[in-house]
Amino acid sequence: MKSIAILGAGNGGASMGAYLSLKGHKVKLYDKFVEVIEPIQAAGGLKLKGISLNGFATFDKISTDIKEVIENCEFIMVVTPAFAHKELAELCAEHLEDGQIIVLHPGRTGGALEFYNIVKKKNPAAKVSIAEAQTLIYACRKTGPAEATIYGIKKKVFVSAIPSKETNKVIEKLNELFSEFVPAENVIETSLLNFGAVFHPAPSLLNIARIEFKEDFEYYHQGISPCVGKVLEKIDMERIAVARAFGVKTLSTIEWLKEAYGIKNGDIYNVVQKIKVYSGIKAPKSPTARYITEDVPMSLTPISELGKLAGVATPVIDIIIRMASIMHNTDYRKKGRTLKRMGIDKFNKDTVLEYVNGG
């Protein structure tokens, strides 16, 4: 039995927290929003449905107080949108205890770098491990105020710590909870294995009229048409080019879908249509949904920034960032996860790799 803090009671956090509780672990649940926590407190826990465990999960604590949630926990699982990582790192830093393992599920692009940078500045004496997963292990949704549904579990999810010399230790511990986690070379690899950057912003922007008029359609199976799929393939090619410039291993989106869901090769459109766990996942109903407000600044902007550092052009990614910025009247390049926010603005390509590998 492990002691686990889950930070975030949304789709991923509710699902992961309920799953781990039903597996017999001591789980504490945090969210900053009272309106999110209160229904779970009133129900006494969360109902979990889907292909995984089914049952009613209870928690050792359900709270908006981050200090009481993370204290005495071996694991701190950060399962929030990436734009919350900065705030959570600042809130957690002074309360961290030696030996704790912090994992971002997922880090999106540069999440662990940003979290590590903040913790080391605010609490340089903290002896903790900070890591990120390249994607959320589940395809899931919160299907009620105190209910979550897991539609699918990915077969393999890459994880790396910063510095990467701690990765094997983190993986060994994580595998006591999830066998699906496997080691990546470093957080540059996990950051550039961010397939949310491919699947989230562009389809949302290219279906923005349907979303604004609150049309009820399936995000993946109906929102990704053959033409949209071609745009995603160009974004994927730019992501791969940045990864190769840094010399880290990567997968194409098609290769990853094959590993994660066992789907045979094809173009993005045709492969997505075959993935059964995507069935029933609805498109957002708001033009400011996190597929844009999170994944543009926290996924595409840092990929573009890393591209500049490595001397790789990312023209299609840059178009998507610009489109989102125009639609939302927000500078997502300035607001996003920049090299400075990741703590690597003083490095070149080679010294960044030394930093992430050695700390």
Residues carrying an active site annotation: 200, 295
Q: How far is CA 31 from the centre of its chain?
A: 17
Contact partners, residue 336, CB within 8 Å, separation at least 6: 296, 297, 298, 300, 301, 302, 305, 321
The helix (H) or strand (E) run that includes residue 4 is: strand 3-7
Cis amide bond preceding 302, omega within 30: no
Cis amide bond preceding 315, omega within 30: no
φ/ψ (deg, to 5) at 12 = -70, -45
Q: How many residues does the chain have?
A: 359
- Amino acid at site 6: I
DSSP state of 60: S
Instruction: Give the whole-angstrom CA distance, residue 18 versus residue 13.
Output: 8
φ/ψ (deg, to 5) at 91 = -70, -40
- CB 106 within 8 Å of CB 194: yes
